[in-house]
């Protein structure tokens, strides 16, 4: 029977030490608690794997914070996905400005998280520019704000933890690299472990206080070990031998930049301090590599993250040989001997500022070659990147989810004009102009400007939004020629890569045989989209009417779920509809229905050969959208497509 307790006694959280399994996750959180300079932890995993539970439990283990109000427990600050930049970094204290005429700053969530834990659930759904702000603060330990005439700086040292479900979309590789550590979590398949998880959870729900008391001593021991590790961290020795091992590891995995080396060095030092050692050893470096390197190997949405044990063992053996070598003598500053300076490279292709460009070129060169399979039931090839996808926009200005595709009204971006409504933040110039018009009425002849609440003007800002991109891929027999199919799948892969970078949701409908099939419902996970596309089969008739109707139904259904996210239908077809009575006529009717619902569209004409019927262009006219030939998928053509669709 559960014990009855007073309502005034808060219910304790789930104890950190009571969590079954998830050893890597718990260790990574502890190491970031020992050394916040590591840069935070990204927790990737399926739902229901105790990600949030572990993070919330960590906050109770951190040392108490001493401030002007005395001693207080470390805080757990949760950042909502819909938070604005003002809420995160802080903003002008308008009340004080208007009341006292003084410029004042109102700190945000980053200040509240100082010396505690900042937790961002579904960090992959947070806008990229906010993720950049969080990661910069986590790495620097301070927040610098220069905006609206206010210059402010304050400390923000916290343990940053982001959790995400990869099925809901990935972070861009540039942002993945900014997280110090990353951990993949999955539910155990061991029956005994699963039983233990359920038993402990039920015991906690039955009597949280008794359950917390059972693990209190274990949690206290962990908290004391974290505090002890913090105290000796600065005295932990990182020898040249182990530093060389770290550099060799990072070089062997071909990671971009130097951030990985720094994170490995900090993580290895923190692990040595955690185990009470005075010097970093090989075991510390290996554990650091397991946590800090796998997510940095992903340069493209089609790359698989992770490092298997065999790869890491081999890299550690190679690094051990490097670690035993003596470092080269440093150059004599007076020019008398020492190692010669290395020659400058012929070009700047390896400079840090060109990381993105160089990784893009590597990505294209690494794509697999076209499939050489034949037959009407062969799988779609996965060709090299034959196209560099250009910007396809939905016409007009929307208000959808933050992204990088179509124009939108948003809480970020450039201010386009003031408004008397709330707007997206303060339009300072508009506010001052509104106040200036009232100075004579208010009796001001000199001195400070007289402001009133009625002068406030909000800012209408224009940024970019993510869209729903619905691919209708004609996989019929007329499209099944190897070269044509290879070109189509290459175009779709390029467009999928573009959708990934622009934070879109994507859906894929294939048209073949007797019907259309939604092989991928709307998702933000490009990984899943690529997997489904590579399994796409071809052959048979081309029921284009069903494909258009299914795309229309999907878009209308998504409008109910997410009314602000605008859709763009991208049809890749040669237009040769077949099957049933008057297949071309029925496809035209279906296309006109899409147009009547004001759904933006683009037809990519995949027809080739000496005899061309021009049906794809006819369907584009019925859709009321844009048209571009597959061979001409270039920046100029796509710009014309966008103008035609507007």
Whole-angstrom distance, CA of residue 466 vs CA of residue 468 = 7
Query: Cβ contacts of residue 217 below 8 Å, gap of 6+?
Result: none
Residue with tokens 């440093």: 330
Say whether 442 is catalytic. Answer: no
Whether the CB-CB separation of 223 and 63 falls below 8 Å is answered with yes
- d(Cα 243, Cα 59) in Å, to the nearest integer? 31
Q: Are 318 and 248 in contact (CB under 8 A)?
A: yes
| E strands in 5-149 | 41-45, 65-67, 70-72, 76-78, 90-92, 105-107, 117-121, 142-147
User: How far is Cα 487 from Cα 318, in angstroms, rounded to an integer?
Assistant: 41
Element (H, E) at 474: strand 468-474
C-alpha distance from residue 469 to each of 383, 455, 542, 604, 643 (Å): 21, 42, 21, 14, 18
Cβ pair 233, 275 in contact under 8 A:
no
Q: Sign (positive/negative) of CA torsion 79, 85, 87, 91?
A: positive
Identify the active-site residue in 259, 298, 502, 541. 259
How far is the C-alpha of 266 from the C-alpha of 262, rounded, in Å? 6
The string over 549-565, giving b where at least 16 C-beta atoms fall within 10 Å of a residue's C-beta and e elsewhere, is bbbbebbeebbeeeeeb
- CB neighbours of residue 595 within 10 Å: 16
Closest CA to 282 of 319, 253, 325: 319
Residue 597 to residue 416: CA distance in whole angstroms: 30
- Report the Cα 287 to chain-centroid distance in Å: 25
List the catalytic residues.
259
């Amino acid at each position: 029977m559960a014990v009855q307790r007073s309502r005034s006694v808060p219910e304790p959280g789930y104890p950190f030490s009571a969590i079954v399994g998830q050893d890597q996750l718990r260790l990574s959180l502890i190491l970031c608690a020992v050394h916040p300079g590591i840069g935070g932890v990204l927790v990737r995993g399926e739902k229901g794997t105790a990600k949030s539970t572990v993070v919330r439990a960590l906050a109770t283990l951190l040392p108490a914070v001493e401030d002007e109000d005395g001693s207080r427990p470390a805080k757990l600050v949760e950042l909502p996905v819909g938070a604005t930049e003002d809420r995160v970094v802080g903003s002008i204290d308008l009340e004080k400005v208007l009341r006292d005429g003084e410029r004042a700053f109102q700190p945000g969530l980053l200040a509240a998280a100082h010396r505690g834990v900042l937790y961002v659930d579904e960090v992959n759904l947070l806008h990229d520019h906010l993720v950049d702000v969080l990661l910069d603060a986590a790495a620097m330990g301070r927040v610098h704000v220069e905006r609206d005439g206010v210059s402010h700086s304050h400390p923000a040292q916290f343990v940053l933890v982001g959790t995400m479900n990869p099925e809901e979309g990935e972070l861009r590789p540039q942002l993945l690299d900014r997280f110090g550590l990353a951990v993949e979590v999955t539910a155990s398949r061991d029956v005994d472990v699963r039983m233990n998880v359920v038993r402990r959870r039920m015991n906690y729900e039955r009597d949280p206080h008794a359950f917390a008391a059972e693990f209190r001593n274990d949690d206290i021991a962990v908290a004391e070990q974290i505090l002890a590790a913090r105290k000796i961290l600065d005295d932990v020795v990182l020898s040249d031998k182990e530093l060389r091992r770290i550099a060799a590891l990072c070089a062997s995995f071909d990671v971009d930049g130097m951030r990985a080396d720094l994170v490995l060095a900090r993580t290895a030092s923190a692990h040595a301090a955690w185990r009470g050692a005075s010097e970093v050893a090989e075991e510390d470096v290996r554990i650091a590599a397991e946590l800090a390197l796998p997510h940095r190997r992903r340069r493209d949405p089609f790359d698989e993250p992770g490092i298997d044990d065999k790869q890491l063992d081999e890299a550690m053996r190679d690094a051990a040989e490097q670690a035993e070598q003596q470092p080269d003598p440093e150059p004599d500053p007076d020019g008398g001997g020492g190692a010669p300076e290395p020659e400058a490279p012929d070009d700047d292709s390896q400079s840090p500022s060109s990381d993105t460009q160089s990784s893009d070129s590597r990505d294209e060169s690494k794509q697999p070659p076209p499939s050489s399979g034949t037959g009407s039931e062969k799988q779609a090839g996965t060709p090299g990147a034959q196209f560099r996808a250009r910007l396809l926009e939905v016409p007009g200005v929307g208000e959808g989810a933050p992204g990088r595709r179509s124009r939108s009204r948003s809480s970020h971006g450039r201010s386009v004009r003031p408004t008397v409504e709330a707007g997206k933040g303060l339009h300072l110039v508009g506010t001052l102009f509104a106040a200036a018009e009232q100075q004579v009425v208010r009796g001001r002849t000199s001195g400070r400007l007289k402001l009133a609440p009625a002068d406030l003007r909000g800012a209408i800002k224009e940024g970019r939004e993510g869209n729903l991109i619905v691919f209708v891929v004609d996989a019929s027999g007329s499209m099944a020629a190897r070269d044509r199919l290879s070109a189509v799948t290459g175009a779709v892969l390029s467009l999928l890569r573009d959708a990934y970078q622009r934070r879109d949701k994507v859906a894929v409908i294939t048209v073949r045989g007797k019907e259309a099939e939604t092989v991928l419902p709307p998702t933000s996970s490009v990984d899943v989209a690529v997997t489904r596309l590579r399994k796409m089969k071809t052959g048979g008739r081309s029921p284009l009417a069903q494909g258009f109707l299914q795309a229309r139904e999907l878009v209308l259904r998504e409008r109910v779920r997410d009314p602000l996210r605008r859709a763009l239908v991208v049809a890749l077809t040669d237009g040769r509809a077949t099957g049933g009575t008057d297949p071309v006529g029925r496809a035209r009717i279906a296309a006109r229905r899409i147009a009547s619902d004001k759904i933006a569209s683009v037809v990519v004409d995949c027809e080739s050969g000496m005899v061309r019927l021009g049906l794809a262009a006819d369907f584009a006219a019925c859709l009321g959208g844009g048209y571009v030939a597959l061979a001409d998928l270039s920046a100029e053509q796509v710009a014309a497509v966008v103008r035609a669709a507007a």
